[in-house]
A and B are shown apart, each in its own frame.
Chain A
Amino acid sequence: MPEPQSRRPDDNGGAIAATGAGGGMDLATSEGGTLEQRPGEPGGGTGGGAGGEATGRPRSLWSDAWRDLRRNPVFVLSGLVIVFLVIISIWPSLITSGNPLSCDLARAQDGSRPGHPFGFNGQGCDVYTRTVYGARTSVVVGVLASLGVAVVGSVLGGLAGFFGGFWDAILSRITDIFFGIPVVLGGLVLLSVVTSSTVWPVIGFMVLLGWPQISRIARGSVITVKQNDFVQAARALGASNPRMMLRHILPNAVAPVIVVATIALGTFIALEATLSYLGVGLKPPTVSWGIDISDASPYIRNSPHMLLWPAGALAITVLAFIMLGDAVRDALDPKLR
């Protein structure tokens, strides 16, 4: 995706959190943004992170959010798209009988014909089959990269926010260092030496340069939660650090991370395509939208169909994840109700 991508904080509090990284100064009031927790609601803390099972408990943040989401058409629509994508990622043969690697140069760049609705690409492979099979790679890259970023980012950011002081300063500086390296540039440098045709180097790179974004948000969020009464109360009652972190802080601070990670998921999928365009993305025989889009991009003038189908599939997928993240954020943000 978009070149300066991981620099993008989340719309709401993210931007503020991102700039507040200057150090442990008196910006704490603004960090963590608008995702305020409801005051005096320690009950929400016992519910764990999973939204769905919390419905039994009255008026927890998560159950409210879930109730909102179910009624939100944007959420339902993007959710359906994502479910469909996941299904065809697991069983692509459900909707296509073709083989994405079977190509016949005699059909190169041909338009659509019966049995091959999207036509053929420059190598004479069926564009429809490749578009269907490409979903798997994109979903795997997106999900694993954002999972990795969320875990690394929230652990590091959370620790920095929780302990503050020296460790915060060190971790914040490290975050700044990684922020200072433009993402596409890092990709060009690091991935140009890779010859493996698996998805792992690409995912690893995304986690390596993507975690600071989540880290800053997690840090801000933890700082906000830490100041809540119920955390102070738990500390006064003698709760240990690990217990406080896991039982009280994590469940309450995780919401912004989930939101940003969902939106980042879409951007990772798009980033994979950009890396392919620059010649350092995934490699055959892996089938991916990024590879197909970048292969087709020089042919945009004479055979636009080769570009439009995989690019359209990619855009819809990214859109679905961003809209999902958007809907989740709206549901979790009481101010916007």
Chain B
Amino acid sequence: MGRYVIRRLLQMIPVFIGATLLIFLMVNVMGDPIAGLCGERQCDPATEARLRQEFGLDQPVWQQYLTYMGHVFSGDFGTAFNGQKVIDLMASAFPVTIRLTIVAIVFEIIIGIIFGVITGLRRGRPVDTSVLLLTLVVIAVPTFVTGLLAQLVFGVNWQLIRPSVSPAAPFDELILPGLVLASVSLAYVTRLTRTSIAENARSDYVRTAVAKGLPRHRVITRHLLRNSLIPVVTFIGTDIGALMGGAIVTERIFNIHGVGFQLYQGILRQNTQTVVGFVTVLVIVFLVANLLVDLLYAVLDPRIRYA
């Protein structure tokens, strides 16, 4: 196990370097950010040259990347164009997005798995068909339409919630955005659980358990669910990274000042330091989540042993 973890950690290094380099190059493709800083006018050449120097943009790209990564490893994520330290932006953005992600994951786990178990045990019945159809509709409608509709109906028409989230972003205000963010994953978790439950319900060990005369709920919770949840847990694990980085649309609609908001601002202003800094952290989250999922996998399924 220890050796396996070390090997995986070593494998993370090239992926980490590759992903940060990729995003660095992508942001560079966007072109020169200085032109946007002087409003509706040309920056005067002297100031432009100074700014370029200050942000290191006068260096070749590979050198910029090396300098940047050097700074990152010493804990310095650089400064945004408006003079704000990227690390400060992270300190205010990540807690918000983590709260949002927690809400989304909780929804995925509770609603997704309950729906999945119900439909999986009632395959082909009306409840199964209707839930299945519902999940498809959720997947088919783009998140921004779902989000705008939810905001309009619950926030404006019925006035049940705040239409946007206040800067402090406490948990209760994140319930609806969390649900919107989770909606697609929720649909996938439901379908995944359903398939898994249906498959395992016909397996020998479940039949044995039933034949032994175990009560139904015990069969479901102890035997069926534990084995069926393996793919679900792995899916949710890999989803964490995706949710954190993918909330650009949801955070925009509900005005949540989290990671997606900062990334969106950073891209619009072509702020390399902000974008690369946030993506670097997201890549680390993604890699660590993947590793944890694989380790969890071994815990849940005793047949798998890592050497």
Q: C-beta contact mask, A73-88 vs B, less than 8 Å → 1, else 0?
A: 0000000000000000
Q: C-beta contact mask, A1-44 vs B, less than 8 Å → 1, else 0?
A: 11111011101100110111111011100100010000000000
Q: Is the CB of A4 within 8 A of B246?
A: yes
Question: Is B18 positioned at the interface, with any CB of A under 8 Å from its CB?
Answer: yes
Q: Is the CB of B242 within 8 A of A182?
A: yes
Q: Is the CB of A311 within 8 A of B141?
A: yes
Q: Is the CB of A34 within 8 A of B199?
A: yes
Number of residue pairs A-B, CB distance < 8 angstroms:
203
A137, B198: Cα distance in complex, Å: 38
Q: Is the CB of A336 within 8 A of B198?
A: yes
CB neighbors of A among B226-255 (8 A): 231-232, 234-235, 237-239, 241-243, 245-250, 252
Question: Is A318 positioned at the interface, with any CB of B under 8 Å from its CB?
Answer: yes
Q: Is the CB of B198 within 8 A of A2?
A: no
A262, B230: Cα distance in complex, Å: 25
Within 8 Å by CB of B188, from A8, A297, A326, lies A8
A34-B199, A176-B15, A182-B282 as given contacts; A274 in contact with B249, CB under 8 Å: yes
A25-B306, A181-B279, A189-B26 as given contacts; A1 in contact with B238, CB under 8 Å: no
CB neighbours of B252 from chain A (8 A): 278
A22-B291, A336-B198 as given contacts; A16 in contact with B231, CB under 8 Å: yes
A27-B304, A277-B249, A319-B137 as given contacts; A174 in contact with B143, CB under 8 Å: no
CB neighbors of B among A276-332 (8 A): 277-278, 293-294, 297, 300-301, 307, 311, 314-316, 318-319, 322-323, 326
Q: C-beta contact mask, A175-201 vs B, less than 8 Å → 1, else 0?
A: 011111111111011101100000000
A18, B231: Cα distance in complex, Å: 10
Q: Is the CB of A2 within 8 A of B139?
A: yes
Number of interface residues of A (CB under 8 A): 65
Number of interface residues of B (CB under 8 A): 73
Question: Is A335 positioned at the interface, with any CB of B under 8 Å from its CB?
Answer: yes
CB neighbours of B211 from chain A (8 A): none
Closest chain B residue to A1, Cβ basis: B142
A21, B145: Cα distance in complex, Å: 33
Q: Is the CB of B290 within 8 A of A19?
A: yes
Question: Is B86 positioned at the interface, with any CB of A under 8 Å from its CB?
Answer: no
Question: Is A173 positioned at the interface, with any CB of B under 8 Å from its CB?
Answer: yes
Q: Is the CB of B141 within 8 A of A189?
A: no
Within 8 Å by CB of B156, from A188, A301, A326, lies A301
Closest chain A residue to B29, Cβ basis: A193
Within 8 Å by CB of B245, from A185, A273, A294, lies A185
CB neighbours of A180 from chain B (8 A): 15, 19, 241, 282-283, 286-287
Q: Is the CB of B199 within 8 A of A25?
A: no
A269 to chain B, nearest CB (A): 9
Question: Is A266 positioned at the interface, with any CB of B under 8 Å from its CB?
Answer: yes
Question: Is A257 positioned at the interface, with any CB of B under 8 Å from its CB?
Answer: no
Closest chain A residue to B194, Cβ basis: A11
A323, B136: Cα distance in complex, Å: 8
Question: Is A135 positioned at the interface, with any CB of B under 8 Å from its CB?
Answer: no
CB neighbors of A among B274-304 (8 A): 275, 279, 282-283, 286-287, 290-291, 293-294, 297, 304
Q: Is the CB of A270 within 8 A of B291?
A: no
A300, B238: Cα distance in complex, Å: 34
CB neighbours of B61 from chain A (8 A): none
Question: Is B149 positioned at the interface, with any CB of A under 8 Å from its CB?
Answer: yes
A193-B30, A301-B152 as given contacts; A185 in contact with B139, CB under 8 Å: no
Within 8 Å by CB of A15, from B19, B27, B234, B250, lies B234
Question: Is B8 positioned at the interface, with any CB of A under 8 Å from its CB?
Answer: yes
A248, B124: Cα distance in complex, Å: 36
A286, B35: Cα distance in complex, Å: 29
Q: Is the CB of A322 within 8 A of B136?
A: yes
Name 13 A/B residue pairs within 8 A (Cβ), A-sorted: A2-B143, A18-B235, A173-B11, A180-B282, A181-B22, A185-B275, A189-B27, A193-B29, A193-B31, A297-B148, A307-B145, A311-B145, A318-B139
Nearest first, the 7 A-B pairs at minimum CB distance are A4-B242, A182-B245, A4-B246, A2-B184, A3-B246, A177-B18, A180-B19
A residues sitting closer than 8 Å to B (CB atoms) are 1-5, 7-9, 11-12, 15-16, 18-23, 25-27, 30, 34, 173-174, 176-186, 188-190, 192-193, 266-267, 270, 273-274, 277-278, 293-294, 297, 300-301, 307, 311, 314-316, 318-319, 322-323, 326, 335-336
B residues sitting closer than 8 Å to A (CB atoms) are 4, 7-8, 11, 14-15, 18-19, 22-23, 26-27, 29-31, 136-137, 139-145, 148-149, 152, 156, 181, 183-185, 188, 191-192, 195, 198-199, 231-232, 234-235, 237-239, 241-243, 245-250, 252, 263-264, 267, 275, 279, 282-283, 286-287, 290-291, 293-294, 297, 304-307
